[in-house]
Amino acid sequence: MPHTTSLHNKCRNSVYPRSDGVQRTPVPDDKVEWRTQWNTYNPVVFTHPKVHGQIWADPDLLTCQVPLHFNQIDGKIDRTSFLGPYQLDDKGLPLNPCGRTGITGRGALGRWGPNHAADPIVTRWKLDATGQRVKDPISKKYVLQFVAIERGDCGEWALPGVSGY
């Protein structure tokens, strides 16, 4: 598994997004990496109710035993990660390759392990009134514009995409 060069923080916020207040187990920076011993680690179990039973979602591996083939193509499902092979826990469930997050289960995601998605990025060159490309006055480079949204849940700017629920 690749070594994490920087700590992830978007998936270590205390409240899981759109979960009606599900609180993650706090993970100190020095306990994020899986290779760091933490015998008392007890992450909150959470899979969003809207995920359960969906045709696009994996079965709940915490309540039933269905053989899924991780780190490979599993039928029509690509369970490989662009980060490389990922570890499985003692129950055979995938571990986040970036380390502990204070939560286990699928959260709002349909699949155990990698959940591949692609969102188009819409761009254009900024044009003046005559149709000529505009250059930035400082860098002297052409200005590329793109479509962005302000997220309603956190106020951050993001590329538009489709939520799974």
Point out which residues pair with 60 in neighbouring strands: none
One-letter amino acid identity for 99? G
- pTM for the model stands at 0.71
pLDDT tens, N- to C-terminus, the chain (165 residues): 444 556 666 677 788 887 888 999 999 999 999 999 999 999 999 999 999 999 999 999 988 888 999 999 999 999 999 999 999 999 999 999 999 999 999 999 999 999 998 778 899 999 999 999 999 999 999 999 999 998 877 788 888 875 544
Give 164's contacts (C-beta < 8 A, 6+ positions apart).
51, 56, 108, 109, 110
